[in-house]
């Protein structure tokens, strides 16, 4: 089970290029956007689908073991002030992660089909 948890950074850093690809498409190629929108949509849907497969595996592991995984990073600026951030994965949050990614994929596909 720890094998899957060490790759939780994929959720954040693989989904980050999706809005960056869409924004770069609109900024760099505004004229040809209408002609190339299906080509630019494919990598976005592929990245979100990759994360969806990872989250389904994580959800299955959460249901089988019903454990809670928490990881906190501490970033100390000085001795009096520190920032702590991290993630908490339990069965309920893994269901919500799957739901959010599924809705994101559906919205992306619907908007690309609506534009065409």
Q: What is the pLDDT of residue 78?
A: 76
Statement: the pTM of the whole predicted model exceeds 0.85: no
- pLDDT over 60 at 64, yes or no: yes
* More confident site: 115 or 54: 54
**Average pLDDT value over all residues in the chain:** 78
Q: What is the CA radius of gyration of the chain?
A: 18
Q: Is 20 helix (H, G, I), strand (E, B) or coil?
A: helix
Q: What local confidence, expressed as pLDDT, does residue 102 receive? A: 92
pLDDT band of residue 90 (cuts 50, 70, 90) is confident
Q: What is the dihedral of CA 100, 104, 105, 106, to 10 degrees?
A: 100
Please classify residue 94 by burial: count the beta carbons closer than 10 Å to its beta carbon, then call 0-12 exposed, 13-18 middle and 19+ buried.
Answer: buried
| Residue 61: per-residue pLDDT | 83
pLDDT tens digits for range 9-49? 777 777 777 777 777 777 777 766 666 667 777 878 888 88
Q: Residue 99: what pLDDT?
A: 92
């Amino acid at each position: 089970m720890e094998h899957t948890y060490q790759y939780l950074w994929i959720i954040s850093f693989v989904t980050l290029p999706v809005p960056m690809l869409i924004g770069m498409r609109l900024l760099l190629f505004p004229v040809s956007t209408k002609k190339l929108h299906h080509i630019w949509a494919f990598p976005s849907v592929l990245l979100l689908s990759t994360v969806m497969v990872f989250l389904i595996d994580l959800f299955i592991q959460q249901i089988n073991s019903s454990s809670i995984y928490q990881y906190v990073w501490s970033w100390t600026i000085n001795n009096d002030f520190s920032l702590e951030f991290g993630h908490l994965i339990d069965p309920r949050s893994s269901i919500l992660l799957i739901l959010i990614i599924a809705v994101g994929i559906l919205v992306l596909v619907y908007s690309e089909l609506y534009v065409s």
